[in-house]
Structure 1
Amino acid sequence: MSFLVIDQISYSYEEKKTILHNIEWEIKKGEFHCLLGRSGCGKTTLLKIASGLIRPDEGAVYMQNKEVIKPSPDVGFVFQSPTLLEWKTVLDNILLPISLKGRPTIEDRNRANFLLQLMGLSNYHNNYPGELSGGQQSRVAIARALIKEPAMLFLDEPFAALDAITREELQDDLLKVCQLQNTTVLFITHDITEAIYLANRVAVMEEGRITFDLGVPLQKQRSVEMKYETTFNELCLKVRHAMSGAGSS
């Protein structure tokens, strides 16, 4: 059974420019899906609709068989900018979604420290964002999104501004945590290699339509060495052709 269903979604900006055209997509529980496309193709708009941040003009989104009409407390968000609060410590930034509703419990703090350990930041819980590198800030943003153990995670190019090695490390950290928690993921990226490495399934968007999709037949446990293997590079090439208009839907 699908966890998230995007059912014939269409959306126009101020009822003038059509951004999305009759989009259909499904994600099963625990799957990691990546959405690729050129700037302006509508992928971020689709993520916002799928997560309930904006409403479609036509169609509907269903999460666990319930229509999505607003953001659910059962989802987490990670955007390109970590958007951490500079005057709060790393631990307090991670606990922020809980602090907004009440006082964090001992269990909440234990979970925050557990996430810090998973993200390789055990020694930074009392540091402030200005004392962290860009990659470390991104790790804190991911931990913050996971603090309430969301069933689904929406990520919009969270690693785009990072160097290649840090990006690879964060890809592995994200996969590790999401597999551990069986989190369902919709991840937007411009990077073909990133999409193939992370995803169970990849979709390509062009001018507000999904024009190509591909199941990724790689073993669940990913490794950097995979990126240099023939199968991996053949999958990347298929997606590259699709983004150049050479692929078929």
Structure 2
Amino acid sequence: MISLIDALADGNTDDASWRRHLLPIWGSKVVPHCLGKGLVIEPMSGLGAQGYYLATEIGADYFGFDIEPAVVAAARAKNLRRASFECLDALSFPRPKRRADVLLLGYEAINAFPWPIQTKLLDWCGAVCAQNATLIIDFLSREARLPRFDLHHESRTLNTFIPRGDRLLTLSWELPNLLPRRSTRFTPYTKDLIDKLRELGGVVVDCQEPFSNAPTTKQCLTQMKTLIVKMP
């Protein structure tokens, strides 16, 4: 079994291959909304690949935090310029020393939690954003129409998706292994997410599927939505 650190760092794994090949596509959609910003904050950052990419593209500082100490140690060991990492639980709703000019809930981060916690996380976003900050949320919505089976060629993984209300159960087989891994995403309706952001005073400036035509066989990724919001 590959370790968490190796999965995040190895560009050939399911966790990292999309970052290496597809981040420029994502960046082309979000960078124009973030120019001139001074600090990017990314909760649940992992090694910081997505948020640090954005920070370097716009010339900003970067602060990422993650609950896994080994991941944070590995991120710090990379000695990234103008970047800092802390070991923090996103559900402790920490208050950074500086407010975020850009706050990134990256690839499916919000899908890790059920809707009541998603709303609390969005409240936290509102509290730590600077005036006129940009909030970026990558998420898989309840409207996604996933096939029953999905063979991801890059990682040689076979997935089957089982929707259950707000939960999307995924069983994954890393071929040729026969024992599946099980994971659960919590998928909000796009409208509910937008309505909550409007309650916080946010203005949605864009919502699209940046990878809908991207060269990837990962179905969840092709249907991922990127929501860009200007905060008050």
Shorter-chain TM-score: which interval? 0.3 to 0.5
TM-score (ref. length: structure 1) = 0.34
| Structure with the higher fraction of residues in strand conformation | 2
| Structure with the higher fraction of residues in helix conformation | 1
Higher relative contact order (CA 8 A, sep 6+): 1
TM-score (ref. length: structure 2) = 0.36
